Structure 1
Amino acid sequence: MVKEIKGTSAAPQVDLEEAQEGALLTRLHRYRERNSALVRRKKAAFTKSYGRLYCEACGFDFVKVYGDRGEGFIECHHTIPVSALEAGRKTKLADLVLLCANCHRMVHSNKPWLSVEQLRRCLTRSSY
């Protein structure tokens, strides 16, 4: 259960320039297990194939932009939603896609989620 903090509201306030934050809350929730070793393996296989890590949707390369700080940094997206997986189902490397944080957020921004191909089509229509 999440306790609402006095003075907060989900409704946007146009004139809001400051707000109280930082209250300590306790949440109890269930979450789906993810295998970090599989993510490391995906990154290693991708690097072996392409020589570097980059976003499979937009091409963003953290090392090119952030230098050494960006080494190995990229998010791993499950093309089959983890929430839809039955306990014990095996995820294959082919079920994973490497995405920058912006592309990952865009994929998950609305339901139904965008496929990576749909996201790519959005990018090609933009002036970015």
Structure 2
Amino acid sequence: MIRISLFACLVLGSVAACGSLSKNRDLDGADLYLSNCAICHGLDARGGGGAGVAGLSKTPPDLTSLTARNGGEFPADDVLEALEGYATGGLRGRQMTPFDALQSDRRKRVRLASGRVRTARPVGDLLKYLEAIQTP
């Protein structure tokens, strides 16, 4: 019962926050995750969300095991590419809408295996958060 209530609060909070997210570009990665990703990937990022989300045809992946599924190294290049695609709606074959909250003119440098790159600050913040929540 508590789990349903928390999920309902999250959904309502996400809907209420959608309008303000595009105005507040200073959210950190955890807040961005809760406002944009948790509805499908779950509060714990283990893929447990998505109940009642229209058009969701399969269980979203566990975002805490990206490093484990990539041989022990966080796949920052791939995650950044996906996040930037979600920010602009440029990912083909994915059933996700663009996340306006990830768009920003403010830039942030992030470190990848291929070197340092500049990306939208919210994308960089979310990338850093996802790296921080990885489990062995």
* TM-score, normalised via structure 2 length: 0.23
Higher relative contact order (CA 8 A, sep 6+): 2
Structure whose alpha-carbon radius of gyration is higher? 1
Name the structure with the higher helix share. Answer: 2
